[in-house]
Amino acid sequence: MLELSPQKHTELLYSHPVLLLSSRVGLKANVMPVCWYVPLSSMPALIGVSLTPSSHTCHLVQESGEFVLGVPDETMLKEIHFCGVHCGMDVDKVRHLKMVTHRARDVSAFLLSDCLGQIECRVRQVQSTGDRKFFISEVMTVTVQPFAWNNGWTDEIRLVHYLGGLDYRIGDERVRVEGVHPGYVPPER
pLDDT on residue 186 = 64
Task: Write the DSSP symbol of residue 144.
Answer: E
- CB half-sphere exposure, 130, CA atoms < 13 A: 2
Q: What percent of the chain has pLDDT over 70?
A: 95
d(CA 82, CA 78): 6
- Letter string b/e over residues 87-121, b meaning 16 or more CB atoms within 10 A of that residue's CB: ebeebebbebbebebeebeebbbbbbebbbbbbbb
pLDDT tens digits along 51-69: 999 999 999 999 999 999 9
| 67-89 pLDDT, tens digit each | 999 999 999 999 999 999 888 98
> What is the pLDDT of the chain when averaged over all its residues?
93
The H-or-E segment that residue 64 falls in is: helix 56-64
Is residue 146 exposed (0-12), middle (13-18) or buried (19+ Cβ within 10 Å)? exposed
H-helix or E-strand spanning residue 70: strand 66-71
For residues 29 and 104, the answer to whether their CB atoms sit within 8 Å is no
In angstroms, the Cα distances linking 187 to 30, 78, 96, 128, 136 are 21, 10, 12, 40, 36
pLDDT tens track for 112-141: 999 999 999 999 999 999 999 999 999 999
Closest by CA to 96, choosing from 184, 187, 188, 179, is 184
Check pLDDT > 90 for residue 6: yes
At 178 the pLDDT is: 84
Strand partners, 188: none
Query: Does 182 have pLDDT greater than 90?
Result: no
